Amino acid sequence: MEKKKIGVLTGGGDAPGLNAVIRAVVVKGEKLGYEIIGIKDGWRGLLNKNVEEISIDKVEDIHREGGTILGTSRTNPYKEEGGEQKAIENMNQLGLHALVAIGGDDTLGVANKLSKKGVKVVGVPKTIDNDLSATDICFGFDTAINRVSEAIDSLHTTAKSHHRVLVVEVMGRHAGWIALEGGIAGGAHVILIPEEPFNIDEVCKVINKRKENGKLYSIIAVAEGALPKGGDLPASCESKQAGKFFTQSEGTDSFGHVKLGGIAKALEKEIENRTGIETRSVILGHLQRGGSPSAFDRYFATRLGLKAIDMVKKEEFGKMAALRKGELVSVPLEEAVGEIRVVNNDLLEEAKVFFG
């Protein structure tokens, strides 16, 4: 009898642990009698029928590597003329029984829409930003906060030696999980996140207070999506503000998101002007999501991949594998997409005891 085929794709920004999910899907899938078809570069591969069969041999040890062996893209079938229809037709032409879509809000948003049109799809939550709803954590996040805390460790020694303020910009478009957890772990003296617009006077007050106490250096961790209260950073910054956000360049990605970046540079100038303390900025950027996954992410991503295959077997379609209160469960895709999970006020207030 011909084996049932399961397609697997990775979409959106890469995250450490993607290969661990793919490996688990292939190993368990093959052992349960499925054939696994890798779809290249996210939804783009489904639209172009760019696929290849993946066997257990091909995935040996890949869970230790960063990135994704399948490639990724931010292609959105719903932004292309006839994209939805093409995706559905290609699923049929490729003979795919089901699809495992590994991604964040955008990728799983597409999965959710396709599922409503009858596509048999299971989601796996991925994003270093850790802002997907319906799961307590996404793989990739643990590696990212480890990178951030290591970077802040290093910044401490140079900031202290030079008596400088160092502003470190981390990822986090709408949610400040990376800044909060990486910042606390690394010992940042102020943490600025998108959930609470900041007051530049307050930030400088903390820095000046530290100086009065003989601490001639400070580390400020800022999420790329953090915003000054009422847009109160003056024109001294070179970064362009598109709408509300600080952006690195004009234009948007294929999902229509502006390319964030520049808040740290703006703060660098402003803090130096206001406090008179030499200030430098560092943007960690893609260092946060490149490279080898942490042990936690390897194991967690592996379990999510195994769960995804269980869900295909049990025909739990239109759902996402998720971790809730320590248990791996399946939740409706609908709950996972649309609204992102942000840092609640209690957690931010709890962290503030370390500011200064």
129 is catalytic: yes
Q: How far is the CB of 102 from ligand F6P (least distance, A)?
A: 13
- Sole residue written with tokens 């998720």: 322
DSSP H helical segments within the chain, as ranges? 18-31, 43-48, 83-93, 105-116, 141-162, 177-186, 200-212, 263-275, 295-313, 333-336, 345-351
Is position 128 an interface residue for ligand F6P (rule: CB under 6 A)? yes
Query: Is the sign of the CA dihedral 351, 353, 354, 355 positive or negative?
Result: positive
Q: How far is the CB of 128 from ligand F6P (least distance, A)?
A: 5
Binding mask 2-21 for ligand F6P (x = CB under 6 A): ----------xx--------
By beta-carbon proximity to ligand F6P, the closer residue of 59 and 138 is 138
Report how many residues bind ligand F6P under the rule CB under 6 A: 13
Q: How far is the CB of 224 from ligand F6P (least distance, A)?
A: 6
Q: 17 exposed, middle or buried (CB, 10 Å; 0-12, 13-18, 19+)? A: buried
Binding mask 134-173 for ligand F6P (x = CB under 6 A): -------------------------------------xxx
What strands, in cross-sheet order, belong to the sheet with 319-324? 51-54, 35-39, 5-10, 96-103, 121-125, 319-324, 327-332
Is position 129 an interface residue for ligand F6P (rule: CB under 6 A)? yes
Max Cα distance, the chain (Å): 77
Is position 200 an interface residue for ligand F6P (rule: CB under 6 A)? no
Q: Which of residues 233-272 bind ligand F6P (CB under 6 A)?
A: 253, 259-260
Q: How far is the CB of 52 from ligand F6P (least distance, A)?
A: 24
Choose, from 41, 129, 131, 297, the residue flagged as catalytic: 129
- Sole residue written with tokens 């995935």: 59
Which residues make Cβ contacts (< 8 Å) with residue 240, sequence separation at least 6?
246, 247, 250, 262
Residue showing the smallest CB distance to ligand F6P in the complex: 13
By beta-carbon proximity to ligand F6P, the closer residue of 208 and 248 is 248
Q: Which of residues 89-118 bind ligand F6P (CB under 6 A)?
A: 104
By beta-carbon proximity to ligand F6P, the closer residue of 69 and 340 is 340
Q: What is the full DSSP assignment across 135-171? A: SS--BTHHHHHHHHHHHHHHHHHHHHHHT-EEEEEE-
What is the identity of the amino acid at 175?
A
By beta-carbon proximity to ligand F6P, the closer residue of 168 and 312 is 168
Nearest Cα to Cα of residue 11 among 119, 135, 133, 99: 99
By beta-carbon proximity to ligand F6P, the closer residue of 173 and 269 is 173
Q: Are 208 and 165 in contact (CB under 8 A)?
A: no
Distance, CA of 64 to CA of 219 (rounded, Å)? 32
Q: How far is the CB of 45 from ligand F6P (least distance, A)?
A: 17
Six token digits for residue 274: 């206001």
Q: How far is the CB of 172 from ligand F6P (least distance, A)?
A: 6
By beta-carbon proximity to ligand F6P, the closer residue of 249 and 345 is 249
Q: Which of residues 293-312 bind ligand F6P (CB under 6 A)?
A: none
Residues identified as active-site? 129
**Residue ranges binding ligand F6P (CB under 6 A):** 12-13, 104, 127-129, 171-173, 224, 253, 259-260
